[in-house]
């Protein structure tokens, strides 16, 4: 088979060689220089490297044609879904059409497609009227229609404040307003084949993804199988017409235990999802997705641990460039039986300059497991309370720790057990929060990804009126936002003195 791979996701996350026999198939990788640089040198393939600064789509169209004889186009990045559709059109190959891509990429299109399905989702407005209020009055979210990793998402205390901020945006048509839904956020990761959900694992976030942008650690732990979770995800797949590939679905679980759709992606989950999923089920999601998309046989699951798995990432992107940090991991956590691996940056490695969940780029990344899901969740919350990442003039040299988890640990650095810390991430006084979760109406939001011209912008409100309002951290416009009792310590643009420990997140399951 002649395969064109649009290479954007780090190779180490996908491991294409595990899914594609490069001796048997004729494989061409194409991408921008910094992406193509991570292809293994020994990999048997053709490599088409775009020029520095060249647009991805323009570069692919200029270097490929129907005469090349490609039979499949493989693109596993959320940020290249529209490009992959255009390339398939260019090469005359079948695949999801534009409307199908929009339903898993554009947050307005996906919720509009759920109308009449019986699936609950937040009320939203894509293009509010020039004057007049929103159909709800409480906390309200302004978010990019095609954003990812919660970048550009802001929560306002009232619908009026959100509407005022929306109207001040340079690019309001690229954003939507959505009522805030109260509850925990779950993520469901699985596989779709021939339009059917064939595999799923659901996990619970211990903090809100939107708060990661401003410095709060983010993590999740797997839950026992629940038929209601699977049925909800299967209905979403059907309603949106998702045909094949990975599913990454986020949904609210309200205090009343109702499930409410948040958003969906037709790609593998980020952060530690791939590793945790494989250890729990024996299924490497990218390998199985590639097999499904190429029409190859899926391999048999292997190596499942019989444990629930979790991940936790401490951010560094919000700190000033050139900042070095002190990381304190109490000894009782570094050597805790739940710990599988504890990663941290080396003293000479720079902090990331962008929002990322990649374990090799962030200050601290924890992988953990336990036979009891609830115990695992409690361990993650203790890590959020007790591990600290603080700016400092210098960083202590690295060392290694051999935790007693079920998986062989990799390199890790921990502080002595006598060093106790309650803060999660602390910024120096001169640092201002770059993407405030709670903002007054006067805050201007930056642009995100532009929706294609073919996406219809609806002025109507779409959603059942029964959905209750909202989910994350909010303060009135006149009050400085601070860490609420039910979430982890945030980055505070205040004196570098260590803040007191926040209250523990409670598991409502």
pLDDT at 451 over 60: no
Write the pLDDT tens digit of every residue in 3-42.
Answer: 999 999 999 999 999 999 999 999 999 999 999 999 999 9
Residue 278: pLDDT band (50, 70, 90) is very high
pLDDT for the residue numbered 43? 97
Percent of the chain at pLDDT exceeding 70: 76
The confidence band for 409, taking pLDDT boundaries of 50, 70 and 90, is very low
Tell me if residue 296 falls in helix, strand or coil: coil
pLDDT score of 461: 39
Domains of the chain: 2-95 (3.40.50.20)
Cα–Cα distance, 368 to 336 (Å, whole number): 9
- Separation of first and last alpha carbons in the chain: 47
Q: Please, what is the average pLDDT of the chain?
A: 82
When pLDDT is averaged across residues 218-236 and rounded to a whole number, the result is 98
- Map tokens 């497991």 to a residue: 369
What mean pLDDT comes out for the span 478-486?
36
Query: According to the model, what pLDDT value does residue 499 have?
Result: 37
Tell me how far apart the alpha carbons of residues 174 and 160 are, in angstroms, rounded to a whole number: 19
Q: What's the pLDDT score for residue 393?
A: 62
Q: Per the structure block, which two tokens stand in for 197?
A: 């959900």
Query: Which pLDDT score, from 0 to 100, does residue 332 have?
Result: 96
355 vs 437: CA distance, rounded Å: 15
When pLDDT is averaged across residues 439-450 and rounded to a whole number, the result is 36
Cα dihedral 364/359/211/76 (nearest 10): 180
3-state per-residue secondary structure call for 399-443? CCCCCCCCCCCCCCCCCCCCCCCCCCECCCCCCCCCCCCECCCCC
The Cα–Cα gap between 274 and 288 comes to 11
The reported pLDDT for the residue numbered 430 is 38
Residues paired with 410 in a beta bridge: none
Q: DSSP assignment of 175-202, as one string?
A: EEEEE---SEEEEEEEEEETTEEEEEEE
Is the pLDDT assigned to residue 452 strictly greater than 50?
Answer: no
**368 falls in which pLDDT band (50, 70, 90)?**
very high
* pLDDT at 5 (0 to 100): 98
Are 162 and 156 in contact, with CB atoms under 8 Å apart?
Answer: yes
Q: Which residues are within 8 A (CB) of 313 and not within 5 positions of it... i.e. 6 or more apart? A: 212, 217, 218, 219, 271, 272, 357, 359, 362, 364, 365, 366
pLDDT digits (tens, 9 = 90+) for 304-324: 999 999 999 999 999 998 888
Taking only the tens place, the pLDDT of each residue in 115-164 is 999 999 999 999 888 788 899 999 999 999 987 667 789 999 999 999 99
**In which residue are the tokens 């937040």 written?**
122
β-partners of residue 191 are 199, 246
Confidence of residue 435 (pLDDT cuts 50, 70, 90): very low
154-194 pLDDT, tens per residue? 999 999 999 999 999 999 999 999 999 999 999 999 999 99
Dihedrals φ, ψ of 322, to 5°?
Answer: 85, -5
């Amino acid at each position: 088979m002649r395969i064109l791979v649009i290479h954007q996701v780090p190779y180490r996350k996908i491991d294409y060689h595990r899914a594609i026999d490069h001796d048997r198939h004729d494989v061409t990788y194409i991408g921008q220089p910094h992406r193509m640089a991570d292809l293994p040198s020994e990999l048997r393939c053709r490599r088409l490297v775009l020029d520095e600064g060249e647009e991805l789509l323009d570069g692919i169209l200029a270097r490929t044609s129907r005469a090349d004889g490609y039979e499949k186009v493989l693109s596993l990045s959320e940020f290249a879904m529209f490009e992959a559709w255009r390339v398939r059109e260019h090469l005359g190959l079948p695949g999801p059409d534009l409307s199908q891509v929009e339903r898993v990429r554009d947050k307005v299109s996906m919720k509009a497609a759920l109308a009449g399905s019986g699936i609950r989702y937040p009320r939203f407005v894509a293009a509010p009227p020039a004057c007049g209020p929103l159909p709800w009055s409480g906390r309200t979210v302004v978010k990019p229609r095609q954003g990812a990793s919660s970048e550009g998402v802001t929560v306002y205390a009232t619908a009026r404040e959100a509407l005022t901020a929306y109207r001040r945006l340079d690019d309001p048509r690229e954003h939507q307003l959505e009522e805030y839904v109260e509850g925990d956020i779950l993520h469901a990761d699985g596989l779709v084949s021939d339009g059917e959900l064939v595999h799923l694992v659901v996990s619970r976030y211990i903090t809100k993804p939107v708060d990661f942008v401003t410095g709060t650690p983010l993590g999740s732990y797997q839950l026992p199988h629940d038929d209601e979770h699977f049925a909800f995800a299967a209905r979403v797949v059907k309603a949106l017409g998702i045909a094949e590939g990975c599913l990454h679905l986020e949904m609210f679980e309200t205090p009343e235990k109702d499930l409410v759709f948040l958003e969906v992606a037709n790609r593998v989950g980020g952060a530690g999802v791939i590793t945790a999923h494989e250890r729990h089920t024996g299924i490497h999601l990218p390998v199985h997705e590639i097999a499904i998309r190429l029409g190859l046989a899926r391999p048999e699951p292997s190596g499942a641990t019989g444990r629930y798995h979790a991940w936790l990432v401490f951010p560094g992107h919000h700190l000033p460039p050139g900042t070095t940090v002190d990381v304190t991991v109490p000894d009782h956590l570094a050597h805790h039986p739940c710990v599988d691996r504890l990663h941290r940056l080396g003293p000479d490695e720079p902090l990331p300059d962008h929002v990322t969940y990649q374990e090799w780029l962030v200050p601290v990344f924890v992988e953990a497991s336990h036979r009891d899901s609830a115990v695992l969740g409690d361990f993650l919350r203790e890590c959020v309370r007790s591990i600290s990442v603080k700016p400092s003039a210098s960083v202590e040299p690295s060392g290694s720790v051999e935790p007693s988890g079920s998986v062989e640990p990799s390199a890790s650095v921990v502080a002595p057990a006598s060093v106790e810390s309650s803060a999660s991430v602390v910024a120096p006084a001169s640092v201002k929060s770059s993407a405030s979760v709670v903002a007054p109406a006067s805050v201007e939001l930056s642009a995100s990804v532009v929706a294609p011209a073919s996406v219809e912008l609806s002025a109507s409100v779409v959603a059942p009126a029964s959905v209750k309002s909202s989910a994350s951290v909010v303060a009135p416009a006149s009050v400085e936002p601070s860490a609420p009792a039910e979430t982890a310590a945030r980055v505070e643009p205040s004196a570098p003195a260590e803040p007191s420990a926040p209250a523990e997140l409670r598991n409502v399951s």
